[in-house]
Amino acid sequence: MPMNRSQFPKELENDLNAVWSAQERDYPLDWPKIFDKKNSTRAFEEQVLRVGLNVAPIKSEGAAIAEGEGGEFWTARYTHVTVALMFSLTQEALEDNQYSSLGAFYTGELMRALREAEEIAAANVFNEATSTTIGDGVTLLSTSHPLWAGGTYSNTLSVAADLSESALEDTCIQVMNAVNDRGLPMPLMPKNIIIGNANAFSVHRILNSVQRVGTSDNDTNAIRSMGLFSGEPINLRRLTDTDAWFVKTDAPMGLQFFTRKALEKGGQEDFRTGNYEYKARKRWSVGVTNPRAVFGSMGA
């Protein structure tokens, strides 16, 4: 249904002082700070975990060399979605508007709407970190991620905790104790803390205080002095759980955003009605393959 003059009655008058719009300036996108950007040419993308070899054993004199073997474990699939929206305006609404171009305004709103869809989908990777299953068969934050060699590993605290200096230290220890799918130690380090607005001030104090945070002790703030985080904190504004916080690591094949079709946009005038129509469309997928890319807690 096209928007018509009845929806903009005041803008048909020529003696208004001003027209105020709910369209505010856009925040910079959050998701490119967190996800690796990749392109796709297929209906979906799959990434399979290939397991390497075990520790080389000692060879006895004259004995045959032991033979190692690996294989594929589990697969992560990224199925692209199509996000699209359009609007239309009657010819009369465009002709009689006295203050601004309705077409230009709603074209900007169209772009904002598509940006918002990306931001929400990316944030939901974290919002659903304990409710949506990923490629290895458990949720993103789990105490029981499976290992090829048997057993499990955890990328969350055994007892959920709100963000604090001690909870963050425990999580950093988990990161540094990470193992590969053979159960062998792997070099993994924290890069960024991902938090919502509610934790923005707390994380600043934790990362920047010279001494221990919120105590009368004169101990060194180890997180700061050791320089554990190589990147700045990332404020994920669409994080719905105010207690949730995450540590992004330098694990490969982690958080990923695939673009299948970049922004397509266009407009036309309908010959029969004179109404102006405009549309915009994108195709993409977002998710995580390697859960070692994210450690954290949904809060106490």
Q: Where are the domains of the chain?
A: 28-51+74-297
- pTM greater than 0.75: yes
How far, in Å, are 26, 90, 93, 275 from residue 21 at the CA level? 13, 20, 17, 23
The alpha carbon of residue 65 and the mean position of all alpha carbons in its chain are separated, in whole angstroms, by 46
The CATH fold of domain 28-51+74-297: Major capsid protein gp5 fold (3.30.2400)
Helix ranges, the chain (H): 91-96, 102-127, 165-176, 200-208, 222-225
3-state secondary structure of 233: coil
Low-confidence ranges of the chain (pLDDT < 50): 5, 9-13, 15-20, 98-99
Interval 238-281: pLDDT, tens: 999 999 999 999 999 999 999 999 999 888 888 888 888 889 99
